[in-house]
Amino acid sequence: MAAENSSGPAQRLDGREVAPGFAAIGISAFTTTREVGSFGLQSGEPVGEVFARWGALRESLGGARLASARQVHGATVVRHVPGWTGWLRADDADGHLSPLPGTAMAVTIADCVPVFIGHRNGATALLHSGWRGTAARIIAEAVDLLAKENAPAVELVVHCGPAICGRCYEVSPDVYAALTGKSVDRPTTVDLRALIADHARALGVREITISERCTRCDNDRFFSHRAGDTGRQLGVMMAEPR
């Protein structure tokens, strides 16, 4: 159910799908739901309503600096260091990394995979990984960068959040080949999150979970591009200041 309350910054942010495994290491990680409305900046919704939701999100995070980006289905991960306030919309990037606690990061999602990566030292990374980002191994980029922040792969917690499931996501033979290296002669289904988990394991990650939620199967709770939605939910991550 879409929230139609457009009365401004008093909007509450209730609907969250919490990513497991992070609270115990002082990291807040969740995906927003349809209940709180869309965060998409290109949906045709009145800009004031969308901005009010971003404002409410920041408020709910204690006013923390919030990094986002114009997403281009690439493998670029931007590293954010403290020393600024407000809401950043970085140029073309699909990944964010914060070496220190206190910086919130957000990716917009509607079938692609929000990949949450955290370490107990407070280093975090958050990725938007669709088929292009997955084929380009954006997760390898993030894991490599985290290793330089004293967060080696074997100590990372990884969660693939709500995204289109392996039964719902049918791709062309070209895309299937790009993702799996295998050739098929007709459109074929592929499980992006299973692939990302495989890539993470190959990089040395041990603690990996995958959400049971599918944006398309659970379309009453999440926006889905393939189901025809123009709205977008957010994957959000922040290591609490310590």
* Footprint on this chain of Zn ion (rule: CB under 5 A): 165, 168, 214, 216-217
Q: How far is the CB of 26 from Zn ion (least distance, A)?
A: 32
* Dihedral sign (CA 50, 43, 110, 213): positive
Instruction: Report in angstroms how near the CB of residue 46 gets to Zn ion at its nearest.
Output: 30
Q: What is the Cα–Cα distance from 15 to 229, expressed in whole angstroms? A: 18
CA dist., res. 144 & res. 73, Å (int): 19
Task: Please state, in angstroms and rounded to a whole number, the distance separating the CA atoms of residues 125 and 159.
Answer: 11
| Beta carbon nearer to Zn ion, 107 or 214 | 214
Tokens 């739901």 locate to 33
CB of 176 to Zn ion, least distance (A): 17
148 or 167: CB nearest Zn ion:
167
Q: Which is nearer to Zn ion, 75 or 165 (CB)?
A: 165
Decide whether 70 or 167 has the Cβ nearer to Zn ion.
167
Determine contact, residues 127/180, Cβ cutoff 8 Å. no
As measured in angstroms, the least distance from the Cβ of 86 to Zn ion is 37
Please choose, from the candidates 130, 137, 118, 141, the residue with its C-alpha nearest in 3D space to the C-alpha of residue 163.
130
Per DSSP, the three-state class of 134 is: helix
Distance CA 133, CA 153 (A): 19
Q: How far is the CB of 171 from Zn ion (least distance, A)?
A: 14
CB nearer Zn ion, residue 170 or residue 240: 170
